[in-house]
Amino acid sequence: MTANLDRIGIGSTIELTLRVSVATLTRVLFNNPNDDEPMLALERRATLRETEHGRVVRVKSQPFGGGLHILDLGAVHDLVGGFHFDSERSRAEQDFRIFIRPSAWSSLREFCVQHLSRNDDLVLETSPTRELAEEFAETLSIELRAEQYIYNPVRTMVENRVVTTENIYARGTPTVRVYRLYEAFITDEFLTQVMMKRSDELSYQGLTELAIADAQSGGRGKANAILTLPWERVQDIYRAMPPAARNVPVIFDENRLDSTVAAILHDIAVPRYQSV
């Protein structure tokens, strides 16, 4: 059976109740151009939400990365006996954000782990380059070029615990996840100077105001920026925590670090993520 993109539905059904997200997380590192101190770069994201108490802007910092593309829809469709995308956007981009039968999760998880371990796989996207380029454009308005960094795969992680997603297209939906972790080291000194400068320039309040302005101009109420932090200090903060405390967001120098930041650390156990 070959899946036809136009015939794949959108949203959950009585049978398709479990959302699966397969994405990249990229540990973006560079040396501080002033003193060579290792630095970590994160995407800082502000999102405007409507709540019962009015409009609220939430700001969090997370690793660069995003949903992987499904290159062979038929292979995934046949394996799970049919699926729906979680949104029109996911279907248009063939993002691996889909609804499946809960009973199919085990076989799909092993399928993803197998294909993500391959270079230039024909079924799943296995490179962080597209997402890195898109997110550097969003956060810095810069075209990231291949010669400005080197990258390597690190590991694949699975989040078996069902957690409701904050994704704006499927908020509150029970979700399990597979992450492919990469490390990207920025080698271009001019780019590292820009990253440090932009991180210092935009305050929490400034990013909040940009998200509000985006909503007022007809957008989704979002704004992105970059945050650079000393790599060893971040590691030390997480090392000092009991493992269970690494499962949730952490406040670091007044920045709210998303729970996925713990997943990109080096040799630090996080109970919610299983390396495979």
CB 61 within 8 A of CB 257: yes
Given a cut of 80, whether residue 70 has pLDDT beyond it is yes
Whole-structure pTM value: 0.91
Instruction: pLDDT band for 184, please (50, 70, 90 cuts).
Output: very high
The sign one gets for the Cα dihedral 122, 145, 189, 251 is negative
Q: What is the pLDDT of residues 8-62, one digit of tens each?
A: 999 999 999 999 999 999 999 999 999 999 999 999 998 888 776 777 888 999 9
What are the Cα distances from residue 63, in Å, to 24, 93, 136?
9, 21, 12
Structure tokens at 119: 């270079």
The residue ranges of every structural domain in the chain are: 5-275
In this prediction, residues 141-147 reach a mean pLDDT of 95
pLDDT at site 1: 41
pLDDT (average), residues 2-12: 77
The pLDDT confidence band at residue 221, using thresholds 50, 70 and 90, is confident
> What burial class does residue 263 get, using C-beta atoms within 10 Å of its C-beta: 0-12 exposed, 13-18 middle, 19+ buried?
buried
Identify the residue with better confidence: 262 or 162.
262
Q: What pLDDT does residue 48 have?
A: 87
| Alpha helices for the chain (secondary structure H) | 73-80, 88-93, 105-116, 129-140, 189-201, 204-216, 231-239
Average pLDDT over residues 176-195: 96
pLDDT at residue 173 tops 50: yes
In this prediction, residue 42 carries a pLDDT of: 97
* pLDDT reading at 265 higher than 60: yes
Measure the CA–CA gap between 162 and 183, rounded to whole angstroms.
26
* Tens digit of each residue's pLDDT (9 = 90 or more) over 86-134: 999 999 999 999 999 999 999 999 999 999 999 899 999 999 999 999 9
